[in-house]
Amino acid sequence: MDSFARIAVVGLGYIGLPTAAVFAENGVEVVGVDVTPRVVETINAGRPHFGEPNLDALVRRVVQAGKLRATLTMEPADAFIIAVPTPLRGHGEGAAPDISYVEDAARALAPVLAAGNLVILESTSPVGTTERMAAILAELRPDLSFPQQRGELADVQVAHCPERVLPGRILEEVVNNARVIGGMSRKCAQRALTLYRIVVKGECRLTNARTAELAKLTENAYRDVNIAFANEMSLICDNLRINVWDLIGLANLHPRVNILSPGPGVGGHCIAVDPWFIVATNPEEATLIRAARIINDAKPGHVVAKVRERAAALKQPVIACLGLSYKKDVDDLRESPAVEIVRRLAEEKVGELLVVEPHIGRLPPELADRGLALHDFDEALERANLVLLLVDHMSFMQVDRAMLKDKFVIDTRGAW
Ligand code: SAJ
């Protein structure tokens, strides 16, 4: 029972596809299941449908070797890894986690489930989601037993093993990061450990599913709170006319202080989202976590105000907006503070905006529809009288300092 010759990965996104490819690379037969035909076609043609270092070559290799195959319909397997989105519906206070994709995945896989199978939820989820998934499976398959019914004796094992990879370093981190493996029973955790050991070199720590769920949310809330501290210091420094980067460098000389970097805000689909999963279920207690979210969400507004103020001093402001992605060296624009800043500058008609983002081929509709276009880095620098650095992409770092002379520079990342 303990072998995993064939696994199904449900949801072939930023986490599912790299996970599927890494298992395939290690000799497991992997079926990737996704609801989007374009995603399935692209992968079966040997290509990832998003940018991530080294993923191209890996997907090509495992698809050509016949180890990874994508499909629209669920198929039987020894283990199922669910890596579907768990978005937040609404914004800020009052927003609620949406676990309907996890529920849909459970309903889709229930018919092909067999005794001896292992079902793992990898998606970042509010506490209780793994139990909810197991309840759906049990309801749809009364012929099988589940851990909430029969504990160690269950026919089907269920676990939560949250992903914790950093976009931009996914392939490396999928293998080398430590993993939290939360079983609905001891046996569930043990079996999940056996599965992950095929690919994971990092430490694997066993716990229960609820603790694993909260551990993942805690990691991202911790980072959000720490970034909020840095962002709050940047506002305080602006008021006091102190360079925040110098300040943090000095404070970090202390052996027990390690302040993160302020920036234009916190983006991405994890850190800006997951803390709300904790706030949503614990509104009374999670006051610090909520405050951090509010501070970080307010940061783009402060950047816009600063640009407005500088632009007001120019007769014809031409603003080079450098970078749109949510962080450096990725093509991911989700929840990006840079996009929000550029959109608001365009709405307020602060000046002519020259948008530079070397990682994408065309602007998202919310910017393109406002008459903006993508520009070349050198051309934008040449023409602009105000330079706004929003993302510290490697390609922006080797800027010719002479080109910045006589221009207003707003460096939101402290990179220059
Ligand atoms: N940021 C700052 N200052 C910093 C660090 C980050 O402003 O000092 C900003 C970034 O520019 C970005 C945002 O925060 O806009 C988030 O970037 P990130 O690189 O910190 O994290 P993500 O969202 O790419 O990935 C995170 C990671 N979580 C942690 O580091 C605790 C990753 O390990 C998780 O797997 C991922 O969330 C996830 O999927 O949850």
Task: State the distance from the centre of ligand 1 to the C-alpha of 289, rounded, in angstroms.
Answer: 16
Q: Which of 161, 188, 270, 321 is catalytic?
A: 270
Q: Which of 216, 299, 321, 327 is catalytic?
A: 216
Task: Calculate the average pLDDT of the chain.
Answer: 96
Minimum-distance ligand 1 atom for the alpha carbon of 220: 31
Minimum-distance ligand 1 atom for the alpha carbon of 335: 15
Q: What confidence tens digit (pLDDT) does each residue in 122-132 have?
A: 999 999 999 99
Minimum-distance ligand 1 atom for the alpha carbon of 270: 40
**Averaged pLDDT, 385-412:** 94
Choice from 216, 271, 336 to test ligand 1 binding pocket (greatest atom count within 8 A of CB)? 271
Minimum-distance ligand 1 atom for the alpha carbon of 167: 24
Residue 81 burial by Cβ neighbours in a 10 Å radius (0-12, 13-18, 19+) = buried
Choice from 213, 232, 258, 266 to test ligand 1 binding pocket (greatest atom count within 8 A of CB)? 266
Task: State the distance from the centre of ligand 1 to the C-alpha of 271, rounded, in angstroms.
Answer: 6
Q: Is 13 in the pocket of ligand 1 (CB under 6 A)?
A: no
Task: State the distance from the centre of ligand 1 to the C-alpha of 259, rounded, in angstroms.
Answer: 14
Q: What confidence tens digit (pLDDT) does each residue in 225-265 have?
A: 999 999 999 999 999 999 999 999 999 999 999 999 999 99
* 321 among known catalytic residues: no
Identity at 229, one-letter amino acid code? F
Q: What confidence tens digit (pLDDT) does each residue in 275-307 have?
A: 999 999 999 999 999 999 999 999 999 999 999
- Whose Cα sits closest to atom 7 in ligand 1? 263
Q: What confidence tens digit (pLDDT) does each residue in 186-224 have?
A: 999 999 999 999 999 999 999 999 999 999 999 999 999
Q: Is 138 in the pocket of ligand 1 (CB under 6 A)?
A: no
As beta bridge partners, residue 120 has: 81, 159
pLDDT score of 2 more than 80: no
**C-alpha span between 376 and 397 (Å, rounded):** 15
Q: What confidence tens digit (pLDDT) does each residue in 45-77 have?
A: 999 999 999 999 999 999 999 999 999 999 999
**C-alpha span between 136 and 79 (Å, rounded):** 17
Total-model pTM: 0.94
CA distances from 17 to 183, 253, 355 (A): 23, 41, 31
- Whose Cα sits closest to atom 11 in ligand 1? 327
Minimum-distance ligand 1 atom for the alpha carbon of 124: 40
* 216 among known catalytic residues: yes
**Averaged pLDDT, 110-138:** 98
Cβ atoms of 48 and 55 closer than 8 Å: yes
- Whose Cα sits closest to atom 4 in ligand 1? 261
Choice from 179, 224, 234, 327 to test ligand 1 binding pocket (greatest atom count within 8 A of CB)? 327
**C-alpha span between 190 and 185 (Å, rounded):** 9
Task: State the distance from the centre of ligand 1 to the C-alpha of 57, rounded, in angstroms.
Answer: 25
